[in-house]
């Protein structure tokens, strides 16, 4: 029998989930009613098969490189997982992302798999979190880089300046956290404060898991940069197809980086609704059109491809049933 506290907790979880779905559904309804989201824009993939091939290539690149990035982070803490196992878990978790809030929902599935027969559960769970953080570093680094490379264009728009500043702050915060993980134990502090802080179990855990693992984290950061460069390229290709006029590459890259960040927040399943709204509003800052449709095309294509992850999931379940 479940205790009243457990029932109350489940009820609150249900209410939160229902509120998130209602919120994302409301955003979609508003975008459609405002004539900003056109489902017919998906026909572009049939009219332009090259664009479909590009988006499929971007998805394949993302899946294989995300698996490799996590594999490097697991190797850094001596958790024994082969690349094939990392690819399997990443593929399956991507499939469940279609139904869980935000792209971070895949982390929950990864945690369930990594907890099986694992003696280093705490460190293994932390590798999932760090995998997400290195992704943010790579994404915000690219946005900051294109901002610096095209500073003259950014100066002309206060809105683009704000977007670029947001990405730069995100990069500084996430990169500072990674540096803290690597060198936090070596930070010089006043004697009394240092003694007090270094007795804190949370501080000890954070600064010990990936201490002296610069190689593993640098590899993960490099892969993150390639992954997001690939995704930004895919979004820009769709943007070019839906915007007949000239498209400013650098400012569009900044807006795409911000839009992808907002869509990854744990608010709606796979970022639906929230991502559509974020892209529509951000694109309008640069005078671009079809922001919601750009996100919708990439979202629908990659969600359909993510569902392929259920194939290895079912094969794995069948193999487990036979072995029992």
Unique residue bearing structure tokens 């197809």: 241
Task: Give the model's pLDDT for residue 69.
Answer: 95
Task: Give the model's pLDDT for residue 165.
Answer: 82
Task: Give the model's pLDDT for residue 15.
Answer: 73
Task: Give the model's pLDDT for residue 134.
Answer: 92
- The CA-atom distances, in angstroms, between 41 and each of 21, 58, 240 are 23, 20, 13
Task: Give the model's pLDDT for residue 66.
Answer: 94
| Mean pLDDT by groups of 10 residues along the chain of 324 residues | 62 69 81 88 92 95 94 87 89 79 65 72 85 88 81 70 80 90 77 70 80 89 93 90 76 78 69 84 82 92 90 80 68
Task: Give the model's pLDDT for residue 295.
Answer: 92
User: Within 13 Å, how many C-alpha atoms sit on residue 78's CB side?
Assistant: 5
Task: Give the model's pLDDT for residue 2.
Answer: 58
Q: pTM for the whole thing?
A: 0.84
Q: Where are the domains of the chain?
A: 38-323
């Amino acid at each position: 029998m479940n205790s009243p506290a457990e029932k109350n907790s489940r009820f609150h979880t249900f209410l939160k989930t229902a509120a998130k779905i209602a919120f994302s559904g409301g955003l979609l309804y508003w975008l459609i009613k405002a004539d900003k989201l056109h489902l017919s824009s998906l026909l572009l993939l049939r009219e332009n098969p090259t664009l479909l091939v590009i988006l499929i290539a971007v998805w394949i690149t993302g899946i294989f490189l995300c698996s490799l990035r996590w594999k490097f982070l697991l190797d850094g803490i001596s958790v024994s997982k082969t690349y094939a196992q990392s690819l399997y878990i990443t593929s399956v978790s991507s499939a469940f992302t279609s139904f869980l809030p935000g792209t971070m929902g895949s982390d929950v599935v990864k945690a369930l798999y990594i907890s099986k027969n694992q003696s280093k559960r705490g460190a293994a769970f932390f590798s999932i979190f760090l995998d997400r953080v290195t992704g943010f570093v790579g994404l915000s680094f690219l946005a900051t880089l294109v901002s610096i490379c095209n500073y003259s264009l950014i100066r002309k728009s206060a809105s683009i300046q704000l977007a670029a500043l947001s990405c730069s702050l995100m990069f500084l915060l996430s990169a500072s956290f990674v540096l803290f993980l690597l060198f936090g134990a070596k930070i010089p502090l006043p004697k009394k404060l240092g003694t007090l802080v270094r007795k804190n179990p949370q501080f000890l855990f954070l600064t010990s898991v990936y201490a002296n693992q610069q190689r593993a984290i640098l590899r993960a950061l490099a892969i993150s940069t390639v992954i997001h460069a690939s995704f930004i390229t895919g979004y820009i290709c769709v943007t070019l197809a839906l915007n007949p006029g000239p498209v400013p590459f650098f400012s569009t890259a900044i807006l795409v980086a911000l839009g992808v960040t907002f869509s990854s927040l744990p608010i709606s399943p796979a970022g639906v609704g929230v991502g559509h709204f974020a892209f529509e509003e951000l694109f309008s800052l640069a005078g671009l059109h079809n922001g919601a449709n750009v996100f919708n095309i990439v979202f629908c294509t990659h969600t359909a491809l993510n569902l392929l992850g259920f194939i290895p999931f079912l094969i794995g379940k069948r193999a487990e049933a036979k072995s029992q």
